[in-house]
Structure 1
Amino acid sequence: MPFTVNGVLCTLLPLLLWRTEEVVEACSCAPVHPQQAFCNADVVIRAKVVGEREVDSGNDIYGNPIKRIQYEVKQIKMFKGPPQNIETVYTAPTSAVCGVTLDAIGKEEYLISGKAGSSGSMHVTLCDYIMLWDSLSSTQKKSLSQRYQMGCDCKIVRCPFLPCEISAPEECLWTDLMMEKQVHGRQANHYACVKRADGSCSWYRGVAPPKKEFLDAEDP
């Protein structure tokens, strides 16, 4: 059955394990542009994982305990979220049910987006945008502070194959999947969909925030 996580359409696809004759569920998420992931998320932070443990989070309808992975994190910077620092990140125990695996031993820093929890916590799934910090482009890193937020009133329309087109002036057409056959293409790495003064939206490339001349332009 389809479900929505932070505005992203996900589906649980049944897989049959022939040896055990048990049915498990696999996680599948529609790809999104980094800006759309930022706008969909309650919380977006840069952080390092400093601890990991499995915890109980109540029982299911049959009385069985529900397990979660609790990551202790050291927040380096918050780009979007509550006023207090995020100290814990919760996720499902396996990728089959959309759980996220983070490195709690190394020194890797992550960009983590997800849903806000209580008391300095957040919840994440494979449908959320979680990337190694060093894998982000310089444009993406700069856009997290201001530029992505400027385009949250815009809509990024995914183009998986031709023909595809926008249907409203506040939309930007995302063609990385069709043109480059990958999610992390040129538009994802170097562009943001920004609202202009006339209410329309257009792709903007550059590390700095858009200049007034771009915002006031009549044509995309």
Structure 2
Amino acid sequence: MSGKQESVNGSVCSERALEGFPSPLELRRSLPGGPGTRRAPGAMSRAAAALGPLPALLLLLLPARTALLAGACSCAPAHPQHLICDAALVIRAKISSEKVVPASDNPLDTHKMIRYEIKQIKMFKGFEKVKDVQYVYTPFDSSLCGVKLEANNKKQYLLTGQILNDGKVFIHLCNYIEPWDDLSLSQKKSLNQRYQMGCGCKITTCYMVPCSITAPNECLWTDWLIERKLYGHQAKHYACIKRSDGTCSWYRGGPPPEKDFIDISEP
């Protein structure tokens, strides 16, 4: 039995597998969990890096040999803009119903998924891959990064996720998923274009002083340092935008918060 930590686009998954399970594919990078990291203990599968920017648990959607697993899933801190840039799909939707379904067609696979039926209100990203989303899928267990949503056809959500090769939309704990009413006006406006204008920028989290940017295309994210929480004023009111000269800087999309981050003006 062996232990290994794996990371894909901000999700960090640690697991131990018994014999008879495929060897893990090489992952692109490894991120340590920092302050604010979300963790959930439970069973995990081997990562399938070939699927692109998805967490390790996506292998549950593929036929695989049965194995006994134990481990955990956690999500490294990330600014909403970063999560939206990484997502293949960004939509506003209501959840109409939910149903527990098998994770794969393999009769030996006992893992389950939740299939949420949704009513899409608006799509912000993903037009070129899918026109209208009827269902989104997530692991049944929160320990596998599953997302629990209110399926009452009343509450609206901002959903971000990935699109699988078969066209299914997959969401998980490490995506940016928030009740629509919890978003600030600036965040809602930034979904249309502003966030995507900054996808070439790098947002660096500042946990303690001293901290500074190391490249002209970086923006320093200081919510944790100043407010001791991740989604503070900077996350709710600012976007990191690339200028014409290739440098990146914070810009506000609404009334300025009462915090001194950097000299900020409208682009």
Q: What is the Cα deviation at residue 207 of structure 1?
A: 4.0
Gaps (5+ residues) in structure 1?
17-21, 216-220
Residue 193 (structure 2) pairs with residue 141 (structure 1): no
User: What residue is the counterpart of 2:164 in the other structure?
Assistant: 117
TM-score (norm 2): 0.70
Contact 1:87 1:120 in 2 (8 A): no
Structure 1 residues 13 and 63: alpha-carbon distance in aligned structure 2, compared to 1, 3 A threshold: closer
Q: Please say if residues 69 and 92 of structure 1, whose CA atoms lie closer than 8 Å, have aligned partners that are also in contact.
A: yes
Q: Identity, % of aligned pairs?
A: 48
Q: Tell me which amino acid in the other structure corresponds to 1:192.
A: A
Which consecutive residues of structure 2, in runs of 5 or more, have no partner in the other structure? 17-40, 43-67, 256-264
Secondary structure of the structure 2 residue equivalent to 1:65: coil
TM-score (norm. length: structure 1): 0.84
Pair 65,187 (structure 1): closer, same or farther in 2 beyond 3 Å: same
**Aligned pair partner of 2:72 in 14, 17, 26:** 26
State how far apart, in whole Å, the 1-side matches of 2:157 and 2:10 are: 20
Query: Mapping of 1:123-134 within 5 angstroms?
Result: 123-134=170-181
Residue 190 of structure 2 aligns with an amino acid whose one-letter code is: S
Cα distance in 1, alignment partners of residues 189 and 266 from structure 2? 18
Pairing partner for 1:78 from 103, 120, 123: 123
Shifted more, 159-168 versus 135-144: the winner is 159-168
Q: Is the 8 A contact 1:139 1:190 kept in 2?
A: yes
Q: Is the 8 A contact 1:29 1:127 kept in 2?
A: yes
| Matched residue, 2:82 | 36
Partner of residue 2 from structure 1, selected from 2, 5, 8 = 5
* Alpha carbons 1:59, 1:66 under 8 Å: kept: no
2:146–2:173 Cα contact (<8 Å) kept: yes
Deviations 1:29-55 (A, max 9, x none): 111111001101000100000010011
Deviation at 1:11?
2.5
Consecutive aligned runs of 4 or more in structure 1 exceeding 6 Å deviation = none
Indicate the residue corresponding to 1:65 in structure 2: 110
**Cross-structure match for 1:19:** none
1:102 Cα deviation after fit? 0.5
Greater displacement, 99-108 / 69-78? 99-108
Residues 1:46 and 2:49 are matched in the alignment: no
C-alpha distance in structure 1 between counterparts of 2:172 and 2:252, whole Å: 29
Q: Distance in 2 between matches of 1:71 and 1:95?
A: 15
The alignment partner of 1:128 has SS state of coil
Aligned residue pairs total: 204
In the alignment, is the contact (CA less than 8 A) between 1:54 and 1:69 conserved in 2? yes
Aligned counterparts of 2:233 and 2:100: Cα–Cα separation in 1:
38
1:183 to 230, 241, 245: 230
Amino acid at match of 1:67: K
User: Could you say which residue in structure 2 is the equivalent of 1:55?
Assistant: 101
Q: Identify the structure with the greater strand proportion.
A: 1
RMSD over aligned CA atoms reads: 2.4
**1: CA distance, partners of 2:145 / 2:242:** 33
CA distance in 1: counterparts of 2:105 and 2:211, whole angstroms: 45
